[in-house]
A and B are shown apart, each in its own frame.
Chain A
């Protein structure tokens, strides 16, 4: 890895290995998209190329919009590697149970505001869960892992982001989920004018067969979110 020193393994994802290292005295994250033997060889290359490219582009663009995301430092399109700044903190997943509701509401409002800016730029995250938000020591929320993100003007993609975020929260803290999601929507609606449309679509998605039991409850829930 040349100039990057002290590489240690941080995490292993389904399509990449994430390493922590040091570049010119700064902590950096090295994300290497690995080859998978179960994929067709042609497909493997195309797949890794596009995911690396989109991830780097999206991060750069969001930084420009002033969002809190890791900064890409180096991108190697031959080996499918991205080097980016390291965000020190804990995953939202791990603080959900230890933080107070007020703190969490503030974090959710912040995440909502950032997601609103992102969607307003025509970008969706694709894997927006509580594992992919990092909360730093001074309580700032960073969105990470843009491996499944992309460009789209389709409300559907935005609604999926909201759906996944609410689902992952609900799975962990079912009793606080309604309040937290309301805070999220407060932040979201302040930065994204099409917010109402997206929330409507999120409920539509949940009505497509799999969450049919929710049909009965949906009216009550919908009223809780839309003022």
Chain B
């Protein structure tokens, strides 16, 4: 178990330092089936295992039923690998955490069924975890930031959050499609994806490198909320007029699309940073690994003397460790659910969850 990084929880939790807790977590809200094992010992958190199996569609986007079948096939192996990696036995686990939403119903059910079964079999508490809260918590743990403005961007979510009164309040979010979805849909429609991400680089970034010129596109910010659907339509319209094969022009469109979308997001985040008067910004979710977005956020934060942190790829995309860790936090505060009543909540909003460790 040497070589595993120990993290300090960046806030205080109600637990005696001499106790140790081991939590198993399941993530299956979207394209990833993940199993994580997290241990709390001597005041520090160690991620013992983080095994993630990804469903990659051969064409089009995620098909919920196909994805859930893939999760089912992967689940046994993922669990075994995780227990093996951590060299622990299933019966040593103190609590079982599971992401019950938000996400795709058929996919969540795979993780939920497995977690309910294991919790009932071991007679251990089952801890419900909100997927969005988990993204935020793992980001805070890895970066060491206690109370940042959190920008959560992935294929299915775009929101700017900040902790207030024991919840994560949504200060700004997308009114229609999420940022990751915008890029996925655009690159798919113009024929340069799937695969959407190759070697950690999204097709939109590859395409942006072909372009030079900036074309003005619809920039829609309403209050602190964003709208990307008009931007997508406008960009697709331009691409259609350019015709296939004009690589340079397509590059210009990709560059302008990415530039406009990122500027919108950074502007809104900047406004939230100023209104909430926090001193740090944290980027989480699948799009957190994007180099250009990181560059923009770094510049924005430095202009306001704020600390900026992104999340490393293994914890920014969907993963099992974040569910296990967030489950651990909830478990320390005594949250658990009867397996019979552990319903899947496809539209479970992040601001409905009570997070007692947030001031």
Contact = CB atoms under 8 A, between A and B. Distances in A.
Genuine A/B complex: yes
A126 B349 contact: no
A210 B221 CA distance: 17
Nearest to A39: B263
B21 to A, nearest CB: 32
A36 B303 contact: yes
Contacts of B176: 208-209
A10 to B, nearest CB: 13
B214 A42 contact: yes
Interface in A126-170: 126-129, 131, 148, 160, 164, 167
B93 interface: no
Nearest to B217: A43
B216 A160 contact: no
B330 to A, nearest CB: 21
Given A126-B223, A212-B347, A37 B303 contact: yes
Given A36-B300, A36-B303, A38-B300, A14 B223 contact: no
| Category for how many chain B residues contact A | 20 to 34
Interface residues of A, number: 29
Given A13-B274, A205-B175, A38 B296 contact: yes
Contacts of A38: 262-263, 266, 295-297, 299-300
B81 interface: no
Nearest to A210: B173
A37 B302 CA distance: 10
Nearest to A15: B267
Given A12-B274, A38-B266, A210-B175, A160 B214 contact: no
Contact of B221 (A37, A148, A213): A148
B222 A164 contact: yes
Interface in A96-152: 126-129, 131, 148
A14 B263 CA distance: 12
8 contacts: A14-B267, A14-B274, A37-B299, A126-B223, A164-B222, A209-B176, A209-B347, A210-B173
Interface of B: 169, 173, 175-176, 214, 216, 219, 221-223, 225, 259-260, 262-263, 266-268, 270-271, 274-275, 295-297, 299-300, 303, 347, 349, 352
Interface of A: 12-15, 36-40, 42-43, 46-47, 126-129, 131, 148, 160, 164, 167, 171, 205, 208-210, 212-213
Given A14-B268, A40-B259, 19 more contacts: A12-B274, A13-B271, A14-B270, A15-B270, A38-B297, A38-B299, A39-B259, A42-B214, A43-B263, A126-B221, A126-B222, A126-B223, A131-B275, A148-B221, A209-B176, A209-B347, A210-B175, A212-B347, A213-B349
